Amino acid sequence: MSTSTVWSLLVLTLPTENATARMRFWRTLKAKGCAVLRDGIYLLPHTEEREQMLRELASAIAGSGGTAHLLRAPSLDAAQEAEFRALFDRSEDHAEFMRALKDARKTVSGQSAAELTKLLRKLRKDYEAIAAIDYFPGDAATRAEAAWQDFIGLVDTVLSPGEPHSAERPIRSLSVGDYQGRTWATRQHMWVDRVASAWLIRRFIDRDARFIWLTSPCACPANALGFDFDGAAFTHVGERVTFEVLVVSFGFDKDPALLRLGEMVHALDVGGAPVPEAIGFEAVMAGARERAADDDQLLDDMSRVLDSLYTHFVSTTKSKDERKR
């Protein structure tokens, strides 16, 4: 074990006459994962970001009538290093989260898309809160991450049965003119990637497109262009989801608004960098999926949402370009 960890120590006295402020400061210290050495002495492994947070907190405590001093010191030896690291053991937090996952797995099959989306969002928030303060992750963190990924996979299977595996192949450049008036096919009960891909096809590629919603990928007619299932003409390639593959295939990757939509679809379909609009879109998608009588109605409903989002991204992109001039 390395003995080189540098620690940030916050020595404080919370204001005695302001119970609200005292509780707020205590909750902040707990949320940031600070360890308690003794009453009024809190510890964090040092980084510039964490020290800045503690510095701002110390200033707020002083401004509320308390006192706070921020210090920095290394571990004296291996024994002290082990003692301090033990204060940050999140094994029980990870175990509790895994118990919550186990209970949640029992309810997945009986829930609607909206309920599953809400459950997944709550559990993701819980998982990320633990991971954010697990400064010395070990075996418990590895097991929790594996259980979390398994749970995500289970929910994806319920929401999007037959989700495609990523193919490793070049993405060919295609001409929109060669893909007019065609029949396109994808799995029924669409979720984010499929509905966005169908919207893209009808809006930018083939305005006279006819869609077939498949009960199984193997039911795809030979004359139909399949998308978003294994063996389809258009599906996941490398790191790109089907929507992104279609964008690149037909040369729309110079459109910043479509690229922005692609980032949102990617984040919701396979994870990745968060996009502010994603949570709202996911909630609307889940609600529309519950309301729609069939996939034709679902596409119509979500196309209006995607039209509006695309217009929004076009507008924000223009505004950014104008500010740069």
DSSP string of 261-306, one letter each residue? HHHHHHHHHH--S--TTHHHHHHHHHHHHHH-SSHHHHHHHHHHHH
Q: What's the token pair of residue 256?
A: 């910043």
User: Do residues 243 and 193 touch, judged by C-beta distance below 8 A?
Assistant: yes
pLDDT score, position 321: 63
Give the mean model confidence (pLDDT) for residues 224-247: 95
Q: What's the token pair of residue 55?
A: 């510095």
Most confident among 163-172, 176-185, 313-322 (mean pLDDT): 176-185
Q: What's the token pair of residue 195?
A: 């509905």
Is the confidence at residue 227, as pLDDT, over 60?
yes
Could you report the per-residue pLDDT of 285-308, keeping only the tens digit for each?
988 988 999 999 999 999 999 999
User: Do residues 71 and 8 touch, judged by C-beta distance below 8 A?
Assistant: yes
Nearest to 248 by CA among 300, 148, 323, 174: 174
Could you report the per-residue pLDDT of 108-118, keeping only the tens digit for each?
887 888 888 88
pLDDT score, position 324: 62
CA dist 236 and 155 (Å) reads 19
Phi, psi values for residue 83, rounded to 5°: -65, -45
Q: H/E element holding 74?
A: strand 67-74
Q: What structural domains and CATH numbers belong to the chain? A: 6-86 (3.30.70.240), 91-159 (no CATH), 176-324 (no CATH)
Q: What's this model's pTM, rounded to 2 decimal places?
A: 0.60
Could you report the per-residue pLDDT of 245-255, keeping only the tens digit for each?
999 999 999 99
> Residue 187 in 3-state DSSP?
strand
pLDDT score, position 229: 92
Is the confidence at residue 196, as pLDDT, over 90?
yes
Give the mean model confidence (pLDDT) for residues 52-75: 94
Q: What's the token pair of residue 305?
A: 């949402």
Nearest to 58 by CA among 41, 35, 33, 75: 41
Cα dihedral 279/280/281/285 (nearest 10) = 100
CA 194, distance to chain mean position in Å, is 18
From residue 198, alpha-carbon distances to 52, 100, 178, 193, 323 in Å are 47, 36, 17, 9, 34
